[in-house]
A and B are shown apart, each in its own frame.
Chain A
Amino acid sequence: GDSVTQMEGPVTLSEEAFLTINCTYTATGYPSLFWYVQYPGEGLQLLLKATKADDKGSNKGFEATYRKETTSFHLEKGSVQVSDSAVYFCALSRNNAGNMLTFGGGTRLMVKP
């Protein structure tokens, strides 16, 4: 079946450091890929997405590129802020009618001033 694997956290960085959170997936066909973010005390919210190979999703300074050859969708940000501290989830969808997602385990990011 489908699966998503992402690096375990926590990831601790200083403000303005470069961020990479690795995500790889296993799926048949051509899934869509997503990053969701959960800020403390809140529900998950969609951060960015890519629907086909070589697409780049971007939002709030975060980027991720859909790499079919390596089955990866790594999340990057050039300069993190304290306000980026959150849990980040990588997910995939088979583009099914029910809009269901398969999630990775989540990676906690802590940014120190």
Chain B
Amino acid sequence: NAGVTQTPKFRILKIGQSMTLQCTQDMNHNYMYWYRQDPGMGLKLIYYSVGAGITDKGEVPNGYNVSRSTTEDFPLRLELAAPSQTSVYFCASSYSGLAGTGELFFGEGSRLTVL
């Protein structure tokens, strides 16, 4: 009954450090997404994937990288952390059969602070 699992839930980074936010889903969904949410702002799409081996940029991809080697996992990499990347990050997944329905399944979020 896990759904979408994100780790870590909280992390503090220093400027210039790198880290990976992990995301895994056990629903065999082929679509996966990374969103970020800044205070008072909507969620903005960073990257998405429509299947293993396929990734594409969303609205705000700069400073991030992703990979999708398996259906289950979709890690988000920050290479050189900057204060502008302080945010709450949400991973989500969807089944291609729900394409156009807008029904995404979300993880609980990862709160990242860059100092």
Enumerate chain A interface residues (CB-CB to B < 8 A).
4, 8, 32, 34, 36, 41-46, 49, 89, 91-93, 95-106
Q: Is the CB of A97 within 8 A of B101?
A: no
- Please tell me the number of chain B residues within 8 Å of chain A, measured between CB atoms: 32
Residue B103 CB within 8 A of the other chain: yes
Contact A100:B58 (CB < 8 A) given known A43-B106, A43-B107: yes
Residue B74 CB within 8 A of the other chain: no
Bits for B40-80, please: 1 = Cβ < 8 Å to A, else 0.
11111100101000001010000000000000000000000
CB distance from A66 to the nearest CB of B (A): 13
The interface residues of chain A lying within 8 Å CB-to-CB of B33 are 100
Q: Is the CB of A101 within 8 A of B102?
A: yes
Task: Give the residue name and chain of the A residue nearest to B98 (CB).
Answer: A99
Return the 7 tightest CB-CB contacts between A and B, nearest first.
A43-B106, A103-B42, A93-B102, A95-B100, A103-B43, A44-B106, A43-B108
The interface residues of chain A lying within 8 Å CB-to-CB of B81 are none
Q: Is the CB of A32 within 8 A of B50?
A: no
Distance, CA A98 to CA B55, complexed state (A):
11
Choose among B35, B40, B106 the residue that contacts A105 (Cβ–Cβ < 8 A).
B40
Task: Give the residue name and chain of the A residue nearest to B41 (CB).
Answer: A105
Contact A93:B100 (CB < 8 A) given known A43-B107, A99-B94: yes
Q: Is the CB of A96 within 8 A of B45?
A: no
Choose among A92, A93, A99 the residue that contacts B31 (Cβ–Cβ < 8 A).
A99
CB distance from B86 to the nearest CB of A (A): 17
Q: Is the CB of A97 within 8 A of B50?
A: yes
Residue B4 CB within 8 A of the other chain: yes
